[in-house]
Structure 1
Amino acid sequence: MLTAVLKNFPRHAPRHAQGSNHSDLRQFNEGVVLQAIRLHGAQAKADLARITGLTTQTVGVIIQRMLDDGLVLKQAALRGRVGQPSVPIAIHPEGAYAVGIRLGRRQLDVSLVDFTGRAVLQRSTRYDFPEPEAIFQALDSHLQAVRDHLADAVGRVRGAGLAMPFSMSGWQQQLELPPERLSAWDSLDVRERVQRLSGWPVTVIKDTAAACLAELMQGAGQRLAHFLYVFMDTFVGGAVVQNGRLHSGLHGNAGAIASLPLREAHQAHEARGDAPPPQLLSSASLLRLEQAFQRAGLEPSAAYDGRALQPPWRDASERWLDDTACGLAFAVLQSSALLDHDAVVLDGSCDPALLQMLLERTQTALTRYSWEGLLPPRLICGQLGRSAGVLGAALVPLEPTLGWQYDISA
């Protein structure tokens, strides 16, 4: 079972840039310059040299090569300064493209992203059950729409990033499904299947790590060096950023807060034959809100939109908010003791107003614990919402330096 679960994921710890040969170093330096422009906007060569720590001559060579390849473009010269006018260098939106694919337990998302990281085409398919063949059929249709949109520019696609849960076949009991309904995923090489459908090289990343990557590159994470990322979806999930880098862990599963126990396990419980302590996802997940609505005879899909805070859904949402905030606060306390991070970024697939209420109640729940010996982290709302995962997936093939930050190619 473990081999099947890990089939589509990296199995080694992160490797950082080694500069082992000229080709690797050249690609790495190009990525460093591109990332500097992404984070700081259009910059002159001298400013890029200062930001990246590279020499002005090296930056000049890199910029000229990228100008020749159509990856960047020159903007109007800035005059009125001492010396020669400086020419800002910007990323060329049409210089390259990437495709992001997020394969979730409730929804398939496909996004075509230009070289600036802006989504230019988005397609989605919603489903109640992740049946493999139906999902691949929908994916094939979405990928054809991407090719049709690009037309002659299809050759500029650098690759596809695939974001998916660490185990599609896990937690059948919470999903209220018989085990055999999800077992088909265990024997699938999803990466190979998607690569066959797309014709592009495919890299795989855990869905919550992809969402965190997007937040790190384009959201609140740009201003944070150490944080725990929490994403509220069908199941809750997480990722870890340390020193401004996404930390993958040995198996690409760092930040798997869904599996955190909500209480300690005692020998006496085992002797009585009690079940193991419940995990965080048993209380902190949008699936629980769906099920609460269903028990009340209400439309469960309201868990993902503004209806959740309107009558008659509001009462069930209030109870869910209190229970979920308690579970999240317990997880935040444990992670703070282990990681010593300065913030927790909370985002999700639900309505932003519901997410803001969850953050506020989690902040209140944190005050019920003793923080002696610890520094409580700040709680911050993420900025990307349900699009975070598919955007992060697209950024993986788009940005060469990400391979050094997170070992997605092992």
Structure 2
Amino acid sequence: MRAHNERLVLTLIRQAGPMPKAAIARMTGLSAQAVSVIMRALETDGLLQKGDPVRGKVGQPSVPMGLNRDGAFFLGLKIGRRSSELVLTDFLGKVRDRRRQTHRHPTPEGVVAFANDTIGAFLDDLPEAHRARVAGLGIALPFRLWDWGESPDAVSPDLENWREGDIATDIGRSWDFPVYICNDASAACGAELVFGEQNKPSDFLYVYVGYFVGGGLVLDNTVYTGKSGNAAALGSMPIATKDGSLRQLVDVASLATLETMLQRQGHDADGVWDRADNCPLPRDPLNGWLDQAAHGLARAIVSSACLIDVRTVLIDGWMSPDLRAELVLRTTRQLQDLTVPGIEIPEIRPGTIGRDARSLGAASLPLSDRFLVDRKAFLKG
């Protein structure tokens, strides 16, 4: 575990980029001597490295210090209804390796075997000096996975098996690094906070559209998960549909719903899950899904804004940037058509991570726990 001031420096450089010691001292309020000691220790530990000197000013050239990409490595396991994916990221949050397996339903024993085999392969491929720098594994999965069968009356035994046991403990038995676990949508929200563009407000609601749709909540620059770890569970939120019926958001705004709409109209739905951005989807069912998803999202956002007074909402998901932009636009239009006296309608923005948000969010769990402080910690006015 890093000392607080070391974490403070690492957090600031991660957010603002490489900078000289004088700038770090000014922004953190630490003395120049304290910053020099901290930077020297972090450089010795291989977490920071010197950049090229910046010349052209009076006095000695300043030397920016930045993160060493090989300073630490993190594993992130995303468990989804359609597939599981495990990534290895470096200290900059760049994916160095990934493996994915598909399944009809995930089973605990299948995921544990996949994770252990893949971690072993990743470690074998790392240079020996880097293996000890693997700082932990994060796991992102939908909580209460057994609740989300094809229908409430037909839950698969594979999903029911998730009710018992502890997958973090099961995987952790095989390795000597810590294992963390988080709701998948909250983890995706964490990826946006740690790795995404840093021009976000201190409070925002986050929506991730995957096989299910889920949410995350950031308050005072920190992901808030609640006592059960399932805060901002937008997928469960009841919303009024266009025909006046009451349904959950997961029923109208999930990609599983888009898949079903495509199949019912005789189309191949494999393109929904393709990682390629140039995989076109038939416009008629896609337009129908976009309209109903935007309608549901707008109502869920208004309900959330009434309770927590968020002024910004980020929408991301397992989709191309173009499709994400269209969903953001349609949701914005739906919000503009709503009249809700007494509240300010939030601004809707696209997320900045995309398909890798849940995997990167899982990898951000050990990174945040071992090397970072809250984003607000370095703000001195």
1:345 aligns with 2:314: yes
- Residue pair 1:396, 1:403 contacting (<8 A) in 2 also: no
Deviation at 1:171, TM superposition (A): 2.2
Return the letter of the residue paired with 1:144. G
1:158 aligns with 2:135: yes
1:178 aligns with 2:147: no
Structure 2: distance between partners of 1:299 and 1:307 = 15
Deviates more, 1:351-360 or 1:36-45: 351-360
1:223 aligns with 2:223: no
Q: Write out per-residue CA displacement over residues 147-201 of structure 1, whole angstroms, 9 at most, x where no aligned residue.
A: 1221302111111111111122112244884353311111121111121244421
Return the letter of the residue paired with 2:44. D
Report the CA distance shift for 1:83/1:403 in structure 2 as closer, same or farther (over 3 A). Answer: closer
Alignment of 1:217-256 (within 5 A): 217-220=194-197, 222-256=199-233
Deviation at 1:205, TM superposition (A): 1.5
- Residue pair 1:71, 1:91 contacting (<8 A) in 2 also: yes
User: Which residue, 328, 348, 354 being the options, matches 2:323?
Assistant: 354
Structure 1: distance between partners of 2:116 and 2:68 = 28
1:115 aligns with 2:115: no
Q: Which runs of 4+ in 1 moved over 6 A?
A: none
> Which residue in the other structure is 1:273 paired with?
none
> Which residue in the other structure is 1:321 paired with?
290
Deviates more, 1:92-101 or 1:196-205: 196-205
> Which residue in the other structure is 2:379 paired with?
none
Q: Write out per-residue CA displacement over residues 330-380 of structure 1, whole angstroms, 9 at most, x where no aligned residue.
A: 001111112222211000012332222211111111122113222111111
- Residue pair 2:305, 2:343 contacting (<8 A) in 1 also: yes
Return the letter of the residue paired with 2:47. L
Structure 2: distance between partners of 1:298 and 1:128 = 19
Return the letter of the residue paired with 1:33. V
- Residue pair 1:174, 1:282 contacting (<8 A) in 2 also: no
- Residue pair 1:99, 1:113 contacting (<8 A) in 2 also: yes
Structure 2: distance between partners of 1:107 and 1:278 = 26
- Residue pair 1:304, 1:351 contacting (<8 A) in 2 also: no
Deviation at 1:403, TM superposition (A): 7.0
User: Which residue, 241, 262, 270 being the options, matches 1:293?
Assistant: 262
Return the letter of the residue paired with 1:390. S
- Residue pair 1:336, 1:377 contacting (<8 A) in 2 also: yes
Deviation at 1:55, TM superposition (A): 2.4
Q: Write out per-residue CA displacement over residues 215-244 of structure 1, whole angstroms, 9 at most, x where no aligned residue.
A: 112224543222110000111000011222
Q: Write out per-residue CA displacement over residues 55-110 of structure 1, whole angstroms, 9 at most, x where no aligned residue.
A: 22222221111111111112232222233322211111112111111111111111
> Which residue in the other structure is 1:383 paired with?
352
Alignment of 1:26-41 (within 5 A): 27-41=3-17
Alignment of 1:18-57 (within 5 A): 27-57=3-33
> Which residue in the other structure is 1:363 paired with?
332
> Which residue in the other structure is 1:8 paired with?
none
1:65 aligns with 2:34: no
> Which residue in the other structure is 2:249 paired with?
280
> Which residue in the other structure is 1:83 paired with?
59
Report the CA distance shift for 1:100/1:74 in structure 2 as closer, same or farther (over 3 A). Answer: same
Instruction: Give the TM-score normalised by the residue count of structure 1.
Output: 0.84
> Which residue in the other structure is 2:302 paired with?
333
- Residue pair 2:8, 2:372 contacting (<8 A) in 1 also: no
Structure 1: distance between partners of 2:5 and 2:256 = 43
Deviation at 1:290, TM superposition (A): 1.1
Report the CA distance shift for 1:54/1:249 in structure 2 as closer, same or farther (over 3 A). Answer: farther
Structure 2: distance between partners of 1:182 and 1:341 = 34
- Residue pair 2:8, 2:373 contacting (<8 A) in 1 also: no
Structure 2: distance between partners of 1:263 and 1:319 = 17
Structure 2: distance between partners of 1:221 and 1:64 = 27
Return the letter of the residue paired with 2:37. V
Deviation at 1:146, TM superposition (A): 0.8
Alignment of 1:77-156 (within 5 A): 77-152=53-128, 153-156=130-133
Gaps of 5+ in 1: 1-23, 265-275, 406-410
3-state SS of the aligned residue for 2:11?
helix
Deviation at 1:37, TM superposition (A): 0.7
Report the CA distance shift for 1:345/1:303 in structure 2 as closer, same or farther (over 3 A). Answer: same
Structure 2: distance between partners of 1:156 and 1:41 = 22
Gaps of 5+ in 2: 376-381
Deviation at 1:309, TM superposition (A): 4.4
Structure 1: distance between partners of 2:152 and 2:210 = 13
3-state SS of the aligned residue for 1:328?
helix
1:74 aligns with 2:50: yes
Return the letter of the residue paired with 2:324. L
> Which residue in the other structure is 1:169 paired with?
146
Return the letter of the residue paired with 1:333. V
